[in-house]
C-alpha cells in the first residue's frame, strides 16, 4: 500500500483502468469459449454457432459508435463502470440450468456482453491518452503496448477457463461475483469526469472527420476480420471434430496461443527511435509479412497430425516475432495518438466501431467458409483480408519526430 501511495495520481489511475480491463477480458474470453464449446457439444453446425455471436458483434458496432459520443458527454469512468455492470449481468444469465440455455437466451446474454466489452475497451484505451502528455509518445506507446499485450494474454487464460469450466454454473457465478466486486471498487476509486469533453459534442459529430483515423479504421476492419475468420469458430470446431480433442485440450491450445501472442506484444517498441514516435510504415510492413506467412499453414493436415502452423514456430522466427509483437499494439497506439485529447472517446469509439464490424464479418465468414470449404479456405481468405489492410494502410500519414 505504501508503494501505491508513492505513485503519481496518473499512474494509479492507469493501474486501476488496466486492472478493470484485465478482469473484464478474463471473463469475456471464458464466456466466448463456453458458448462455442457448449453449442458444439449439442450438435450445432459451425455456421449456427457463428450466428450466436451475431448480436455480440452487432451491438458492439452500435456501442462503439454511440458509446464514444456518450462517453465524451458523461466521462469514461461512467462508461467503463457501465461495461463492468453489464458483463456481470451477462454472466449471471448463464448461471441458469443447462435446459434453459436456449439460443435466444444465449444470444441475449451475448448482446449484453458485446455492449459491455466495447464500453470497457473503448474507455480503457481512451484513458491512456488522457493520462500521458502528448509530448511523451514513447511512454504512450509503451503503456498502450502493455495494455494490449496483457489483454491478449488474459484473453487466452479466459479461453482456458471457458474450456475447463464448461457446464459448471457455480464457476460462472463465481466469476460474476468477482467481477462485481471489481465493479464496486471501480465505482469508488476511478477518477470522476475522466474523458469528458469540455464542449458537449453534438450527435452529428459521431463520424470521424480525420482522414488518418478513417484510413486506420478501414485497415482495422480487414485486420480483425482476418483474425476472426479462421480463429473464432473455425479453429476450435476443427480441433474438436478432426482431432477429437475435448474441451480441456481445445481451451488449453487456444489459451497458450493467445497468451504467447500477448506476452510478445507487451514490451512495446524495441529501440529508441521507435519509442519516440513510431512511423506509419511499420504497420504496412507487419501486415505484408503476416499475409505472406499465413498461407504456408493453409493446408489440411491428416488426422492425428498437429494442426497447420503448430509445428512450424521456428520457420520464420524473426518475421513472425516482429509481426506478432507489433501489429495490434501499434494499431492501438496509433488511434490513441491520432485522437484529439478533448473528446478522445469520439475518435476512439469510431475506430473501434470498425473493429467490431471486422469481428462481425470475420465471425460469420468463419462459420460459413469453414462449413462449406474447411479450415484451409478460411486461412487463404484471411490472407486476402490482411493484404487489403496493408494496401489501405499505404494512405496513413507518417509520424514526424
In this prediction the pTM is 0.69
HEC states along the chain?
CHHHHHCCHHHHHHHHHHHHHHHHHHHHHHHHHHHHHHHHHCCCCHHHHHHHCHHHHHHHHHHHHHHHHHHHHHCHHHHHHHHHHHHHHHHHHCCCCHHHCCHHHHHHHHHHHHHHHHHHHHHHHHHHHHHCCCCCHHHHHHHHHHHHHHHHHHHHHHHHHHHHCCCCHHHHHHHHHHHHHHHHHHHHHCCCCCCCCCCCCCHHHHCCCCHHHHHHHHHHHHHHHHHHHHHCCHHHHHHHHHCCCCHHHHHHHHHHHHHHHHHHHCCCCCCHHHHHCCCCHHHHHHHHHHHHHHHHHCCCCCCCCCCCCCCCCCCCHHHHHHHHHHHHHHHHHHHHHHCCCCCHHHHHHHHHHHHHHHHHHHHHHHHHHHHHHCHHHHHHHHHHHHHHHHHHHCCCCCCCC
> For residue 341, what pLDDT is reported?
60
* CATH classification of the domain holding 246: 1.20.1250.20
Flag whether 200 is in a domain.
no
Instruction: Note the pLDDT of residue 365.
Output: 93
- What is the pLDDT tens value at each position of the chain, 401 positions in all? 556 566 677 677 777 888 888 888 888 888 887 778 778 778 888 778 877 888 887 887 888 778 777 777 777 788 888 999 999 999 898 888 877 878 888 888 888 988 898 888 888 877 777 777 777 777 777 878 787 778 778 887 887 777 676 656 677 888 899 899 999 988 888 876 665 666 565 655 566 668 888 899 999 999 989 989 998 889 988 998 888 888 778 877 887 888 887 777 666 554 444 444 455 555 554 445 444 444 444 444 444 444 444 443 343 333 333 443 456 677 778 887 777 765 566 778 788 888 889 988 998 899 899 989 999 999 999 999 999 999 999 988 875 44
pLDDT of res. 342: 58
Is there a domain that residue 3 lies in?
Answer: no
The boundaries of the domain holding residue 60 are: 9-193+206-393
Tell me, what's the pLDDT at 281? 53
For residue 250, is it within any domain?
A: yes
Give the per-residue pLDDT at 334.
Answer: 83
Count of the separate structural domains present in the chain: 1
**Dihedral-angle region of residue 43 (phi above 0 means left; psi in -120 to 50 means alpha; beta otherwise):** left
The pLDDT of residue 387 is 94
Residue 310 included in any domain? yes
Residue 199 included in any domain:
no
- The answer to the question of residue 4 being in a domain is no
399 assigned to some structural domain: no
297-323 burial code (b ≥16 CB/10 A, e <16): bbeebeeeeebbbeeeeeeeeeebebb
Question: Does 266 map to a domain?
Answer: yes
Amino acid at each position: 500500500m505504501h508503494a501505491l501511495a508513492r505513485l503519481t495520481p496518473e499512474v494509479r489511475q492507469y493501474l486501476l483502468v488496466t486492472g478493470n480491463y484485465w478482469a473484464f477480458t478474463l471473463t469475456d474470453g471464458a464466456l466466448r469459449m463456453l458458448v462455442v464449446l457448449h453449442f458444439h457439444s449439442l450438435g450445432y453446425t459451425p455456421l449456427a454457432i457463428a450466428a450466436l455471436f451475431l448480436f455480440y458483434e452487432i451491438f458492439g458496432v452500435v456501442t462503439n459508435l454511440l458509446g464514444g459520443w456518450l462517453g465524451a458527454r458523461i466521462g469514461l469512468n461512467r462508461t467503463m463502470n457501465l461495461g463492468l455492470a453489464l458483463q456481470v449481468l451477462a454472466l449471471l444469465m448463464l448461471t441458469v440450468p443447462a435446459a434453459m440455455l436456449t439460443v435466444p437466451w444465449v444470444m441475449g446474454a451475448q448482446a449484453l456482453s458485446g455492449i459491455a466489452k466495447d464500453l470497457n475497451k473503448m474507455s480503457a484505451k481512451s484513458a491512456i491518452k488522457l493520462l500521458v502528455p502528448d509530448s511523451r509518445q514513447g511512454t504512450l506507446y509503451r503503456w498502450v503496448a502493455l495494455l494490449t499485450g496483457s489483454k491478449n494474454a488474459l484473453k487466452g487464460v479466459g479461453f482456458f477457463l471457458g474450456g475447463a469450466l464448461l457446464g459448471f454454473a457455480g464457476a460462472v457465478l463465481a466469476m460474476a461475483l468477482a467481477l462485481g466486486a471489481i465493479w464496486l471498487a471501480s465505482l469508488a476509486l476511478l477518477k470522476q469526469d475522466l474523458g469528458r469533453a469540455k464542449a458537449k459534442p453534438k450527435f452529428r459529430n459521431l463520424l470521424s472527420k480525420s482522414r488518418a483515423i478513417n484510413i486506420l479504421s478501414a485497415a482495422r476492419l480487414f485486420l480483425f476480420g482476418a483474425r476472426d475468420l479462421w480463429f473464432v469458430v473455425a479453429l476450435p470446431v476443427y480441433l474438436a471434430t478432426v482431432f477429437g480433442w475435448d474441451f480441456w485440450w481445445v481451451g488449453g491450445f487456444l489459451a497458450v496461443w493467445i497468451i504467447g501472442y500477448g506476452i510478445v506484444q507487451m514490451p512495446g517498441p524495441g529501440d529508441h527511435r521507435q519509442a519516440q514516435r513510431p512511423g506509419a510504415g511499420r504497420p504496412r510492413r507487419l501486415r505484408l509479412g503476416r499475409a505472406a506467412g499465413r498461407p504456408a499453414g493453409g493446408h489440411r493436415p491428416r488426422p492425428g497430425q498437429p494442426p497447420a502452423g503448430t509445428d512450424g514456430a521456428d520457420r520464420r522466427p524473426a518475421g513472425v516475432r516482429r509481426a506478432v509483437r507489433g501489429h495490434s499494439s501499434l494499431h492501438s497506439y496509433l488511434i490513441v495518438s491520432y485522437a484529439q485529447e478533448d473528446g478522445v472517446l469520439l475518435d476512439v469509439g469510431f475506430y473501434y466501431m470498425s473493429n467490431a464490424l471486422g469481428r462481425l464479418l470475420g465471425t460469420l465468414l468463419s462459420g460459413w467458409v469453414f462449413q462449406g470449404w474447411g479450415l484451409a479456405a478460411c486461412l487463404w481468405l484471411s490472407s486476402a483480408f490482411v493484404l487489403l489492410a496493408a494496401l489501405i494502410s499505404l494512405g496513413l500519414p507518417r509520424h514526424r519526430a
